[in-house]
Chains A and B, each alone.
Chain A
Amino acid sequence: MTPKNPDKGYVAILGWSVNAINALENFDRRYVIVAPSWAEEYAKEHSIPFISWNFEQLNECSMEIAEQLKKEGVDVAIPLFEETVEWAGAINSVLLNNPRFMGQSLLFRDKAMMKRRAQLGGIRVGIFEEAHDRDDVIHFLKRVNQALLKLDGDPNDPIHLKAFNKAGCLGHYVIRTPDDVANIPDEEFPALVESHLDGWEFAVEAFIKNRKIHFLNISEYVTLGYSVFVPATPDLEKWRPQVVAEIEKLIETFDIDFGFIHPEYFVTSDGKMYFGEVAYRPPGFNAFELIERAYGFSAYQALVMMFDPKTTDEEIKAFFPREVVDAKGHAGCFGVYPRRRVISELKIPEATENDSYFEFHELQSPMQNKVPKRSAFGTHWGLVYFFGEDPYRLRDLLKAQEELDYYI
């Protein structure tokens, strides 16, 4: 364990992530993990500073945790998961004595409000609407396609439906026909519906302190929901100046003093950026691990530095490498979904296993032979990691995985 520096901040991490805790063990900040009680015994066994908290309960006791952390001497709370973002906002309002953080966190948690706020800030967004039931969705689908001057019988342009408050691909549906609407479960409503943007989708990880971007990574999606890699190809990296400008707009619009944001954008062929959504927490698909693999610094430690009010500029300067040029290579991962309906075993495709870019996988052997039907973009069965020097070769390799059977 790295000795803790008493001159640095004391942070509370909201949510349980072994990789995050491991990174903190090797960092000089004091920390405490705030997570549900199921992790308590494990934390105790391994001497991990721990406070048990149920993030699902919302009642008059909710502020207790803020008071408890304040008494403990914690300087700031850091959310790890979507569900803990507003908790962090509420807690930081108390710890930092600034009620603005609460309101800000609510913007991050409601996709419709988020879009509206972005639009108010002059950020380009697609057409969107709040949908409270299936009729709203069908109505939106029709209106969008009418606007595109489609005739009856022409194939529709798809629209997207996203649950208000779910992370990543959870609750994300692509809708082309009214039939697709029938497949959406009731619990996804209310939801955001938006027009499809025919652009190149990518994500950004931005580390912010004192309203300044200190490190900006562009994550290139090969296929949404399947694969991502960092740093991006030169083709995408050439938009970096525009991306930086867009993030600066976000910082202004959302009034972000510090922390970490993970927005998604589309860039159209004429170079216009469309804002998709933004999250105030580490991204899914283990992007932090990919950044660490490519650049060699711990993104979790960087996250903590950004939140810690006692972080100095010199410290930040010394911590981050230069973007893109300092990367040792390109790291990517692929989320595996079984392609067959009936499977019996896990078998890494030979082509993958023999590829020098292949690193390792986190796949488990199947527990049952029948593959459940995938709803929405669904969750993958595990990630397969790749690392190599040539981003184009990596991209093609990730793309090729989509056509391979990992479960046979």
Chain B
Amino acid sequence: MNANAEPAATNEQTRLLQEKLEHAIGQLEQASSFARLNFQSPVLELAGRMLAQPGGIQQLYALAPRLDDAELFDGTDWAEPGALLPSLVHNTLEQGSKSLVILECLSELRLLAIAKGVHKHEGISVEQARHFLTQVLALNLSYQFGLANETQRTRLGRLGDGLQALFRYLLEHIGFENILGSLIEEIWRILAQRPIQVDGVKTMVTQIALTLTEGVGNIGEALLGSDRLISALFSPTQGCLDDPGMEVYLLRLEVMDFPTLQREAYGFSRAMLDVGLVSDYHAGYLRWLLQHEQSQLIPDALGLSSTGLDALRTYQDLIHKLIEEAIHPQTAQTVYGLAMLLERGILYSPPIAPGLWRQLNLQPSAQAKTALQTAYGDEVTPRVRLLAGVISVLGQPLGVGQGNNPTCQSARAISMWSYNDPDFLLHLIAQAARFDNIQMNFEGQLIASAELPPGLASDIPLDTDPVSIVLVPHLDRVYHAMGEACVGRGEDPHRWINPEFHGWWVGREFFIAVDVATGKMKQDYTHYLAQFYRSYHPLYNGNQPVIHPQPAGIAVTDSNAQFVGWHAITLLRVALDQGEVMRVYFYNPNNDSGQDWGNGVVVSTHGHGERFGEASLPFPELASRLYIFHDESIPMQTDMIELPTEEFDQVQDMALKSWAALRHPTVA
């Protein structure tokens, strides 16, 4: 921008541009759907130039509702503002063509108009729009402070200035305290679910740290929440309080006396267990302990309880070897997985320790190597990456996430095996990583993944944990082969697939809320509910806790309670929370389980008795979205207890007002 430009000339420029944009929008507004494309590009072109004008943002913000109503976004990926993902914005801005960048910017202004209540668009509420923008701001903090890189400037030219102006404008309206506050809240909420994949969280925390060192703005109370996050990553102990860098830190360790070293151990474990993030220094420290014969501090550094300590003492060689091989600053987060692995006590199951020894020496196949390198680069070898991944998955069964892949079934299976059948999971990983093949049986028929065409995950998934990267493509193929074997049976294939795919413990009886032929809700839906209550509700099933994790299906709805799709979850537990509310605790392979399913059904991830990684809902609310579950066919001696039929009516009502809104049962 030329600061010396005369305001009068600039105003004239803006006025002329305004006239042109006005005309182009007018043309778009009167365009029929088929001609819209012809009129979209002039609007984008002119809006892009307006964006770079001083005061252009305000003009465009005022026009945003009109642009939206004129269907500027129609036919593009931005058509449904409710379906936009904040995480994709950055990529579009960094790599998208000029017109896509402009479209993205205009979409942000449209969302701001929605967030401010001056515009409405079906499928997105004021809060959702605000939430979206908050996330976009948080994920693109670099634009706030002119940190945009030079390549971008070259690529976008004057539009680059416009982009910064846009983010400053969004920030003025959303507020920095606001984004930092909600960003930090968001990070804590996600960390409370203890995901295995924390790269996104780490990036955000790093951004916040950078922002704060730049000394930007008055952020007030938000600082407190951010402090803990930043220190957990960069300065969890006295020894690294000033984030000195690994080399300096290791030198400092050399001169520490034992009590100081021990305080370091406590500091690391406290930060890790409290926050769920592992500092690189933590990994460096553990390696240093082993190399300097201070391994007696490892339990303190891992924050182990008596269970974990006992497991560590029992399998000391194995654990030391795992630390030596798998724990590096580049795989620091695995420290948490290792601690949890010890705490779970699964090492006492005879096949686990030898299974891990196999994993230690396992060289992945060329194919598995390529997949791991594509996803993670070569900071550490693919073997180490996979080993670290195995430790994490075994330590955090509920931390497995499907990434941005349509493979909820496979992610759920990995989680379920880690939870319930870890030695089988180790077997599958070894098979897939070494032979590029896994074998399963379906109704007596052998299915070998190597012989099958790709399923849904036709590309290697890149945004998930190392075990999933190796295993999901195989599982996905097998799952689809099983599905194909069921074609033509006229019933939901999960009836047969679920027990064969997951394991013997899946109940052989299958219950579904939908009439497969018509796609509508079953006429005897209340009977279906009765089955569910008899099977899973402790007050009606003779107080029988869930024994094995059970696969189940839910009809996912959005925050407007509109049907989104069928989704796989695992039922884990049913229990009373601290408020005497009977809740179903379940695992959702989505990366973030905290979801709003509409009409007041909001999935909780902490604060209601959830263990890390569990999601929960009051029993009837979960029942209202459940459409598939399994149980054993053994009849329970619980017929004496009267079922809560009134509650069934409420549940049915909730179902009919959400996923079954367009699936009302046909009256015979």
**B-binding residues in A (CB < 8 A):** 1, 18-19, 21-22, 25-26, 42, 45-46, 48, 293, 353, 356-357, 359-362, 385, 387-388
Choose from B17, B23, B41 the contact partner of A293 (Cβ within 8 Å): B23
Q: Are A361 and B45 in contact (CB under 8 A)?
A: yes
Contacts of A18 in B (CB 8 A): 34-35, 38
Quick one: which of A22, A361, A385 has the most chain B CB within 10 A? A22
B484 at the interface (CB under 8 A from A): no
Q: Are A360 and B16 in contact (CB under 8 A)?
A: no
* B residues 28-72 touching A (CB-CB < 8 Å): 30-35, 38, 41-42, 45-46, 49
Known contacts being A356-B12, A388-B16, is A48 close to B45, with CB within 8 Å? no
Q: Are B23 and A22 in contact (CB under 8 A)?
A: no
Q: Are A360 and B13 in contact (CB under 8 A)?
A: no
Known contacts being A26-B30, A46-B32, A46-B33, is A353 close to B38, with CB within 8 Å? no
Contacts of A357 in B (CB 8 A): 16
Give Cα distance in the complex from A201 to B356, angstroms. 87
Classify the interface of chain B: helix, strand, loop or mixed: helix
Q: Are A359 and B42 in contact (CB under 8 A)?
A: yes
B20 at the interface (CB under 8 A from A): yes
Give Cα distance in the complex from A360 to B13, angstroms. 15
Contacts of B34 in A (CB 8 A): 18, 21-22, 42, 45-46, 48
Quick one: which of B20, B23, B24, B33 has the most chain A CB within 10 A? B20
Distance from B15 Cβ to chain A, minimum over Cβ atoms (Å):
9
Contacts of B31 in A (CB 8 A): 22
Give Cα distance in the complex from A26 to B30, angstroms. 7
Interface residues of B, count at CB 8 A: 19
Contacts of B38 in A (CB 8 A): 18-19, 22
Q: Are B12 and A22 in contact (CB under 8 A)?
A: no
Contacts of A293 in B (CB 8 A): 23
Known contacts being A359-B46, A387-B20, is A19 close to B35, with CB within 8 Å? yes
Contacts of A25 in B (CB 8 A): 32, 35
Classify the interface of chain A: helix, strand, loop or mixed: mixed
Q: List 7 A-B contacts (CB under 8 A).
A: A18-B34, A22-B35, A42-B34, A353-B49, A356-B12, A359-B20, A359-B24
Residue of A nearest to B41 (CB): A360
Q: Are A22 and B42 in contact (CB under 8 A)?
A: no
Give Cα distance in the complex from A1 to B32, angstroms. 7
Residue of B nearest to A18 (CB): B35
Give Cα distance in the complex from A25 to B592, angstroms. 47
Choose from B24, B35, B41, B49 the contact partner of A362 (Cβ within 8 Å): B41
Quick one: which of A359, A362, A385, A388 has the most chain B CB within 10 A? A359
Give Cα distance in the complex from A362 to B31, angstroms. 17
Contacts of A359 in B (CB 8 A): 20, 24, 42, 45-46
Give B508-552 as 1s and 0s: 1 = Cβ < 8 Å from A's Cβ atoms: 000000000000000000000000000000000000000000000
Q: Are A22 and B32 in contact (CB under 8 A)?
A: yes
Q: Are A360 and B12 in contact (CB under 8 A)?
A: no
Distance from A223 Cβ to chain B, minimum over Cβ atoms (Å):
24
Q: Are B16 and A21 in contact (CB under 8 A)?
A: no
Distance from B74 Cβ to chain A, minimum over Cβ atoms (Å):
13
The 3 closest A-B pairs by CB, nearest first: A22-B35, A46-B34, A360-B45
Contacts of B42 in A (CB 8 A): 359-360, 385
Contacts of A19 in B (CB 8 A): 35, 38
Distance from A332 Cβ to chain B, minimum over Cβ atoms (Å):
13
Known contacts being A26-B30, A293-B23, A361-B45, is A356 close to B13, with CB within 8 Å? yes
9 other A-B residue contacts (CB within 8 Å) besides A19-B38, A22-B31, A387-B20: A18-B34, A22-B35, A46-B32, A356-B12, A357-B16, A359-B20, A359-B24, A359-B42, A360-B24
Give Cα distance in the complex from A21 to B359, angstroms. 67
Distance from B48 Cβ to chain A, minimum over Cβ atoms (Å):
10
Residue of B nearest to A48 (CB): B34
Residue of A nearest to B9 (CB): A356
Distance from B118 Cβ to chain A, minimum over Cβ atoms (Å):
27
Contacts of B32 in A (CB 8 A): 1, 21-22, 25-26, 46
Residue of A nearest to B97 (CB): A365
Contacts of B17 in A (CB 8 A): 356
Distance from B628 Cβ to chain A, minimum over Cβ atoms (Å):
37
Contacts of A385 in B (CB 8 A): 42
Give Cα distance in the complex from A21 to B35, angstroms. 8
Contacts of B12 in A (CB 8 A): 356
Residue of B nearest to A292 (CB): B27
Contacts of A362 in B (CB 8 A): 41
Q: Are B46 and A360 in contact (CB under 8 A)?
A: yes
Give Cα distance in the complex from A25 to B36, angstroms. 13
Distance from B582 Cβ to chain A, minimum over Cβ atoms (Å):
52
Residue of A nearest to B13 (CB): A356
Distance from B158 Cβ to chain A, minimum over Cβ atoms (Å):
8
Residue of B nearest to A357 (CB): B16
Quick one: which of B13, B34, B38, B42 has the most chain A CB within 10 A? B34
Give Cα distance in the complex from A46 to B36, angstroms. 12
Distance from A27 Cβ to chain B, minimum over Cβ atoms (Å):
11
Give Cα distance in the complex from A19 to B45, angstroms. 19
Give Cα distance in the complex from A101 to B575, angstroms. 88
